[in-house]
Structure 1
Amino acid sequence: MYKKILLPTDGSEHANKAAEQAIWVAKQSGAELMVINVIETSSLVGLPAEDLIVRIREMLKEEGQKSLEKISDMVAASKVEDPCQKDVKLTLDIKEGSPSDVIVKTVKEEGIDLVIMGTSGKHGLDRFLLGSVTENVVRSASCPVLVVH
């Protein structure tokens, strides 16, 4: 059914709930699970000191790495819970750019069959001003998108 599933994660509770679903779907279908964390760097451009930008970027990468390790731990725990299930081939990556653009680009470049992602949890003015990554992906992705609330 599915051969390659994309799970964007920011380490949030919503993303971790989506991860549970993505791991389950990957096991049931024998699909590869590609997990990405996207670092939003556009807000760093206006900062005056280059060394500050470098330090913030490194901090964001460390945070992203922790998010990816959490998913890796979840996959390992699911193997322990049910050793008879198929192994999940797991690919982890950190990318930089606009999250929705990077996710949609990854769908095209990697031949993704399904995106599973959490809701952002934004409401009201935040959503109006910033937009919703999930909403943009749902509108732009060339494959089905499963949104987990």
Structure 2
Amino acid sequence: MYQHILVPLDGSKNSQKALSVAITIAKTFSSKLTLLSVVDNRTLAVPTTTATPVNNAYTELKGYAQGIVDAGLKTVQENGLDADTIVSQGYPKSLIATDVPKEQNIDLIVIGKSGRGAVDRLLIGSTTAYVVRNATVQVLVVNDN
């Protein structure tokens, strides 16, 4: 039924629960898993006179994102499966909802109900809500309860 599942990870409890559910689905349908973590471009929009602080911030954020997908991959492997991992830079909402699903031929997104961006949710709406409204594939929203 589901051939390729995308699991966006941000290090939150909800994204870890989504990964657990995705693993169960992947085992049931022999699906391929892809784990995604996004370095949000907006976090790099800091006025500066040189590029060095931005480059250092990006390197740190990319390392953090890589650690998140590496931990997710370890969980997947501990469950007897394998997964592709992607660390991408850009706008998380569109990357998760449309860009990565199109590029990777995804047919299901398994995403946590809420993630780490509480302030972002208050100001511009949650990533999960955006994904549900705009995804071109099926979306399963997982609560951490």
CA contact (8 A) 2:36 2:87 kept: yes
Mapped partners of 1:124, 1:66: distance in 2? 21
Q: Name which of 103, 121, 127 aligns with 1:133.
A: 127
Corresponding residue number in structure 2 for 1:39: 39
Residues 10-64 of structure 1 show CA distances to partners (whole Å, capped at 9, x for unaligned) of 1111111100001111111111001110110123233303100001101111111
> What are the ranges of 5 or more consecutive residues in structure 1 without an aligned counterpart?
80-87
Runs of 4+ in 1 over 3 A off after TM superposition: 121-126
- RMSD value over aligned CA atoms? 1.9
SS at match of 1:112: coil
CA contact (8 A) 1:47 1:53 kept: no
Q: Do the aligned residues in 1 keep the contact of 2:106 with 2:137 (CA within 8 Å)?
A: yes
Secondary structure at 2:18's aligned position in 1?
helix
Partner Cα separation in structure 2 for residue 47 and residue 15 of structure 1: 31
Q: Secondary structure at the match of 2:79?
A: helix
Confirm or deny: 8 A CA contact 2:12 2:115 kept in the other structure.
no
In percent, how many aligned pairs have the same letter? 33
User: How many equivalent residue pairs?
Assistant: 141
Q: Does 1:112 align with 2:106?
A: yes
> Which residue of the partner structure matches residue 82 of structure 1?
none
Question: How far apart in 1 are the matches of 2:117 and 2:63?
Answer: 28
In 1, Cα distance between equivalents of 2:15 and 2:119: 22
Structure whose alpha-carbon radius of gyration is higher = 1
Residue matched to 1:2: 2
Preserved contact between residue 38 and residue 97 of structure 1 (Cα < 8 Å): yes
Counterpart CA distance in 1 for 2:101 and 2:108 is: 8
> Contact 1:122 / 1:132 at 8 angstroms: preserved in 2?
no
Q: TM-score, normalised by structure 1?
A: 0.87
